[in-house]
C-alpha cells in the first residue's frame, strides 16, 4: 500500500491510499478556501454523566448536491472538489467537523455550576471508498475492500497515538433514510476525546464478566452464538457473522473475528482478506432482503485507546432501520426518550431471512 499525504488549500490534511507503490496522485489543491471552523463545544450533562457536542457550524455543510457538484468526486477543470485528482481510496479531514484540534481555550467555563464546558478536541475524517460516484460499497471488489481496511488501520493507529484521544470510531452511513448528506460512497472516522456512552456501558459489562469469570465477555458471547448456530448468517475460517440474540434493530448483524484483537490495526493480513469477502456477502444479503439498496449503519467497535483495552474485542455492527418493504423502524418515544428498544423482528427470524437470500 502506498500512502501519499498532502495539504489542502485551507490547511487540512488529505491522504491518498493506493494498492500500487508506483501510483502518482495530484498534490495541489487549486481552490481558495477560508480557514476551517474552530472545534465544537462540549457540554457536560450532569443528569446522564455524558458529554454533548454543540457544533453550530455544521448547519452550513453541503446537503445532497446534484451529482455533477459532488465534493467527493475527483476535481476537474470545471468543478474543483475536496479531492485534487483521481484516487482509489482517500481520507481527509472533514471540512465541517464535530471534533477537531482547532480548539478555543475555554478553561474554567461553564453554562451553569453543574454544566461545565470544554473544547471539542478530536478529529473527524471522511473516507472515500472509490472515485466512482455511482457505485456502492456492496459493488466493490474484495481487493478494494482490503485497501479500505488498510486505510482504517492506518488512521486508527495514527489517531490512537494522538494525546487526548480515547477512542477511534470508523463507520459508514448509507441511504437518505439514515440521514446521509452526500450520495458518494464514503464513510467517516471520529476520534473522540472521551469514551462514548455505548463503550462505557460495554466496558462496564465486560469488567463485571471478567471479574466473575476471568474471561472476555464478547469472546464468550461469540462462542455461545457459534455453538447455538441458529442466528449465524455466514462464516469463514477467520470470521463469523451472526444476529445478536438481543438485537435492537430489525436487521442487525455482528461480524467478529475468531481471534480476540483490540482494534483494526491488530488484524493479520489473512484476517483482513477474509473480512473483505464475508463483509461483501453480508452487505449483499442486506440488499437482497427487499430487492433494493438497504439503508444501513456500519459501525466498528474498537477497544478504547487507553484504559480497559484488555476488555475490548473488535467487531463490526451492521444494522438497518428498515423492518419491511416501505416500512422503517423509527426511534420513537420508548427508544428516543428512555433508551428502551422494542424490536419488531425476532433475531431468529432475521437470521433466517438473511440466510435465505439468494446471492
Whether 301 sits among the annotated catalytic residues: the reply is: no
Query: CA 312 to CA 303: how far, in whole Å?
Result: 4
Find cell 448528506 and name the residue: 181
**Residues 220 and 320 placed together within one structural domain of the fold:** yes
In contact, 189 and 155? CB cutoff 8 Å = yes
**CB-based burial, 144-179: b 16+ in 10 Å, e otherwise:** bbbbbbbbbbbbbeebbeeeebbbbbbbbbbbeeee
Residue where one domain finishes, among candidates 169, 196, 223: 196
In contact, 253 and 318? CB cutoff 8 Å = yes
**Residues 152 and 183 placed together within one structural domain of the fold:** yes
- pLDDT number for residue 222: 98
**Residues 180 and 250 placed together within one structural domain of the fold:** no
**Residues 99 and 136 placed together within one structural domain of the fold:** yes
* pTM, to two decimals: 0.97
Q: DSSP 3-state assignment of 335?
A: helix
Residue where one domain finishes, among candidates 196, 230, 247: 196
Domain of residue 142, CATH code: 3.30.428.10
In contact, 175 and 294? CB cutoff 8 Å = yes
**Residues 38 and 121 placed together within one structural domain of the fold:** yes
**Residues 175 and 50 placed together within one structural domain of the fold:** yes
In contact, 156 and 168? CB cutoff 8 Å = yes
Give the number of other CB atoms < 10 A from CB of residue 237.
9
**Residues 187 and 302 placed together within one structural domain of the fold:** no
Nearest to 173 by CA among 267, 326, 293: 293
For 282, the domain range is 198-355
Domain count along the chain: 2
**Residues 30 and 125 placed together within one structural domain of the fold:** yes
Residue where one domain finishes, among candidates 196, 225, 260: 196
Give the number of other CB atoms < 10 A from CB of residue 65.
14
- pLDDT number for residue 337: 96
DSSP string covering 59-125: GGS--S--GGG-TTSBP-SS---SBSS--SEEEEE-SS-SS-S-----TT-EEETTEEEEE--SEEE
> Exactly one of 186, 254, 301, 315 is catalytic; which is it?
186
Find cell 494525546 and name the residue: 163
In contact, 61 and 95? CB cutoff 8 Å = yes
Alpha helices (runs of H) in 267-309, residue ranges in sequence order: 269-289
**Residues 73 and 153 placed together within one structural domain of the fold:** yes
Helix (H) or strand (E) holding 254: strand 251-257
- pLDDT number for residue 345: 98
- pLDDT number for residue 269: 98
Query: CA 128 to CA 13: how far, in whole Å?
Result: 14
Helix (H) or strand (E) holding 205: helix 197-213
**Residues 271 and 187 placed together within one structural domain of the fold:** no
**Residues 111 and 237 placed together within one structural domain of the fold:** no
**Residues 251 and 288 placed together within one structural domain of the fold:** yes
Query: CA 149 to CA 238: how far, in whole Å?
Result: 15
Mean pLDDT in each 10-residue stretch from start to end of the chain (359 residues)?
98 98 97 93 96 92 92 97 98 96 85 95 98 97 98 98 98 96 97 98 98 98 98 98 98 98 98 98 98 97 96 98 96 96 97 97
DSSP string covering 123-169: EEEEEE--S-TT--GGGS-HHHHHHHHHHHHHHHHHHHTSTT--EEE
Amino acid at each position: 500500500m502506498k500512502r501519499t499525504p498532502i495539504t489542502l488549500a485551507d490547511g487540512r490534511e488529505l491522504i491518498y491510499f493506493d494498492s500500487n507503490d508506483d501510483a502518482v496522485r495530484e498534490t495541489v489543491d487549486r481552490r481558495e478556501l477560508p480557514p476551517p471552523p474552530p472545534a465544537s463545544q462540549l457540554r457536560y450533562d450532569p443528569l446522564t454523566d455524558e458529554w454533548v457536542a454543540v457544533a453550530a457550524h455544521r448547519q452550513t455543510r453541503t446537503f445532497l448536491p446534484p451529482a455533477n457538484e459532488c465534493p467527493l468526486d475527483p476535481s476537474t477543470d470545471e468543478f474543483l472538489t475536496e479531492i485534487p485528482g483521481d484516487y482509489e481510496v482517500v481520507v481527509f479531514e472533514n471540512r465541517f467537523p464535530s471534533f477537531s484540534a482547532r480548539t478555543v481555550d475555554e478553561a474554567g467555563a461553564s453554562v451553569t455550576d453543574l454544566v461545565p464546558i470544554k473544547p471539542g478536541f478530536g478529529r473527524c475524517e471522511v473516507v472515500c471508498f472509490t472515485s466512482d460516484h455511482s457505485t456502492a460499497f456492496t459493488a466493490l471488489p474484495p481487493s478494494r475492500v482490503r485497501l479500505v481496511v488498510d486505510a482504517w488501520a492506518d488512521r486508527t493507529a495514527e489517531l490512537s497515538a494522538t494525546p487526548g484521544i480515547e477512542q477511534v470510531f470508523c463507520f459508514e452511513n448509507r441511504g437518505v433514510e439514515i440521514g446521509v448528506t452526500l450520495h458518494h460512497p464514503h464513510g467517516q472516522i471520529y476520534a473522540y476525546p472521551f469514551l462514548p456512552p455505548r463503550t462505557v456501558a460495554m466496558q462496564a459489562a465486560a469488567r463485571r464478566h471478567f471479574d466473575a469469570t476471568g474471561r472476555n465477555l464478547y469472546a464468550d458471547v461469540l462462542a455461545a452464538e457459534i455453538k447455538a448456530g441458529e442466528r449465524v448468517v455466514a462464516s469463514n475460517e477467520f470470521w463469523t457473522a451472526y444476529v445478536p440474540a438481543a438485537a435492537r434493530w430489525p436487521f442487525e448483524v455482528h461480524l467478529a473475528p475468531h481471534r480476540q484483537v483490540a482494534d483494526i490495526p491488530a488484524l493479520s493480513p489473512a484476517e483482513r482478506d477474509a473480512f473483505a469477502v464475508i463483509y461483501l456477502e453480508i452487505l449483499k444479503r442486506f440488499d437482497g432482503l427487499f430487492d433494493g439498496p438497504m439503508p444501513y449503519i456500519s459501525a466498528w467497535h474498537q477497544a478504547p485507546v487507553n484504559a480497559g483495552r484488555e476488555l475490548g474485542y473488535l467487531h463490526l455492527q451492521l444494522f438497518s432501520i428498515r423492518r419491511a418493504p416501505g416500512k422503517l423502524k423509527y426511534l420513537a418515544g420508548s427508544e428516543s426518550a428512555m433508551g428502551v428498544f422494542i424490536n419488531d423482528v425476532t433475531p431468529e427470524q432475521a437470521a433466517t431471512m438473511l440466510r435465505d437470500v439468494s446471492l
